[in-house]
Structure 1
Amino acid sequence: MTAGGRAGGEPPARGRRRDQAIALGWLVTIWVLLWGDLSWGNLLGGLVLGAAVLLFFPLPPVSFGGRLRPGPLFVLVVTFVAELVSASVHVAAIAVRPGYRPRGAIVAVGLRIRTDLNLALTAEVISLVPGSLILEVDRDAGVLYVHVLDVRRPEDLTAAGDRIRAVERRLVRAIGSPAEVRQLDPKPDTGGESP
């Protein structure tokens, strides 16, 4: 990190404008997806609404210090789609099974990378998969509280936590900084034991 808190010596004002442009792009994309129709009217409406949101409800700056890695990003997208289909089939099977009452549970999962961006992205990906829902995010401790559906035994709770940490690992490998990737799998201490 250099002056202004940005990688590469980028001036803070220029970096802030870039971050706002990226946020505006995402807001327009979400607006068009919500309407389900790519038209000039929806693009213009998304631009106006997105600009108003950024102007009247400014968010604290969240800078992106990572880099996009196409291979891990492809793995993230493919595994997300596979989990989405699998979970949808599972929830549909539960819904049509006569007389079956699924048991839910709340799992607390501590994330290894505690940046706001990682917490938000991991929470979003988890919430998009049917059968899991983020109930709370403890920002200071880096813990997600997740409601999971159809828990039958204690091993299901462990599996849910492992699945959430796997999502975090795939996200960080796809878009995280080199330092964050190193934090995922710290090297074991090879030094000798102290007496």
Structure 2
Amino acid sequence: MTTPRERLEAVGNQIPPLIALIVLWMLLWGEFSWLNLLVAFVVGIVVTVAFYLVPVQLSGRVHPLHAVVFFVRLILDIVRASIDVAWLAIKPKLVSSNAILAIRLHTRSDLILTWTAVATSIVPGSIVVDIDRESSILYLHVLDMHSAADIESFRRQVLDTEQRIVRGFGSREDVERMRGVPPANRRTARSVDQNEQGPL
């Protein structure tokens, strides 16, 4: 049986999709009017109720500096990769060597998993072809992989992207997991330290 707080959280998790549907409806009509807004709200309510999805748990945390770092680095990666792919297209004597890579992420958050998949796919030269949600594994088709060093370099890029997303938008649990310390273990370590120190 759900508690009032859990029901309130479930309703709150449906608000972002509802707002997105309202904005999309207004963009499709191309003009703002109170009638359009009312119809968009009604349609959004019907869609979110009739096609209810498992709510994505938002972290409720944004670190402005790390968020800026993530977006700036993403833009730089897009520019760099665009130049590399353009060179591959006109490169004489091109030897094609593509690969399907399975990359296991550190996070267990659906939100961070999705953001990492999208951020990786919009960079030219790679695209997500499948996702193993249970194991947090991304399967990507990647261009121009000629050696184990190339594969490891790309794997590191994806994990670095995940880390930047976690630092900018992830929950405290996600941040701790990226540091290699599970939150439960950290709490246990704190209680052990307090017990060892004894009363002051």
Structure 1 and Structure 2 fold alike (TM over 0.5):
yes
Matching residue's letter, 2:74: F
Asked if 2 retains the 8 angstrom alpha-carbon contact of 1:66 and 1:178, the reply is no
* 1:180 aligns to 2:174 (yes or no): yes
**Structure 2 counterpart of 1:11:** 5
Matching residue's letter, 1:63: Q
* 1:69 aligns to 2:55 (yes or no): no
Alpha carbons of structure 1 residues 56 and 113: separation in structure 2 relative to 1, 3 Å: same
Deviations 1:42-89 (A, max 9, x none): x85876765554233211122213401101100011001111111112
**Structure 1 counterpart of 2:107:** 113
Match of 1:40 among 22, 26, 32: 32
Instruction: Note the C-alpha offset of 1:29.
Output: 5.5
Unaligned residue ranges in structure 2 (runs of 5+): 182-200
Match of 2:48 among 48, 54, 64: 54
* 1:132 aligns to 2:126 (yes or no): yes
Tell me the number of residue pairs that the alignment of Structure 1 and Structure 2 aligns. 177
Instruction: Note the C-alpha offset of 1:160.
Output: 0.8
Alpha carbons of structure 1 residues 83 and 38: separation in structure 2 relative to 1, 3 Å: farther
Q: Considering only CA atoms, is the larger Rg found in Structure 1 or Structure 2?
A: 2
Instruction: Note the C-alpha offset of 1:166.
Output: 0.5
**Structure 1 counterpart of 2:162:** 168
The RMSD of aligned alpha carbons is: 2.8
Unaligned residue ranges in structure 1 (runs of 5+): 5-9, 188-195
